[in-house]
A = this chain, B = another copy of it.
Amino acid sequence: MTDELLANNTRYAENFTGPLPLPPAKHVAVVACMDARINVYGVLGLNEGEAHVIRNAGGVVTDDEIRSLAISQRLLGTTEIILIHHTDCGMLTFTDDEFKKSIQDDTGIKPGWAAEAFSDLEEDVRQSIARIRTSPFVPTKDSIRGFIFDVATGKLNEVV
């Protein structure tokens, strides 16, 4: 499958115009779930060069997202943060204990990290925002907004 995607890249490069500047033009950083159905550039109407995009299983905020946001704001001038979780998320389908036990059963080794599963989408968006708000390493917190992407409609619904 990788080779098929590389053939797509050859076509993409044919119409590519670059290079654009390194700092994101819209001064926005997005933290979204890795889910295949969330095309972040499409969902937000972003063009190349406009926003940092950070993604992981769940769209949660761990030390690595704080690291990325710290670099984004401190070195590359972003000032707004958009968090995106989504309906029908895989993270709603298991618990940390179950997942880590299954890995231990399979490999003999229990991960030292949290799986970050959750049972309530809105609560986890608020949890992710709270982790950013309490971090001393992310300096600009004036605009941190969280959304749930609806995989049936394509719409972002804000968590308030």
* B12 and A45 contact, CB distance less than 8 A: yes
Q: Tell me how many chains of this kind the complex includes.
A: 2
Q: In the assembly, what is the distance between CA of A10 and CA of B72, in Å?
A: 27
Is A101 located at the chain interface by the 8 A CB criterion? Answer: no
Instruction: Take A76-B90, A88-B22 as given contacts and tell me if A9 and B156 are in contact as well, using a CB distance cutoff of 8 Å.
Output: yes
- Decide: A36 and B52 in contact? CB cutoff 8 A: yes
Q: Known pairs A10-B155, A42-B48, A106-B139. 18 more at Cβ < 8 A?
A: A2-B143, A2-B145, A4-B26, A5-B44, A5-B45, A8-B46, A12-B44, A16-B153, A18-B37, A19-B87, A34-B68, A36-B48, A38-B53, A56-B68, A67-B113, A70-B103, A109-B136, A111-B137
A-B contact pairs, 29 of them (CB 8 A): A2-B80, A2-B82, A2-B145, A4-B26, A9-B154, A12-B154, A13-B153, A18-B152, A34-B72, A36-B48, A36-B50, A37-B49, A54-B57, A56-B56, A56-B67, A57-B71, A57-B72, A62-B67, A64-B64, A64-B65, A66-B113, A67-B111, A67-B116, A70-B111, A71-B90, A71-B91, A74-B99, A75-B93, A107-B136
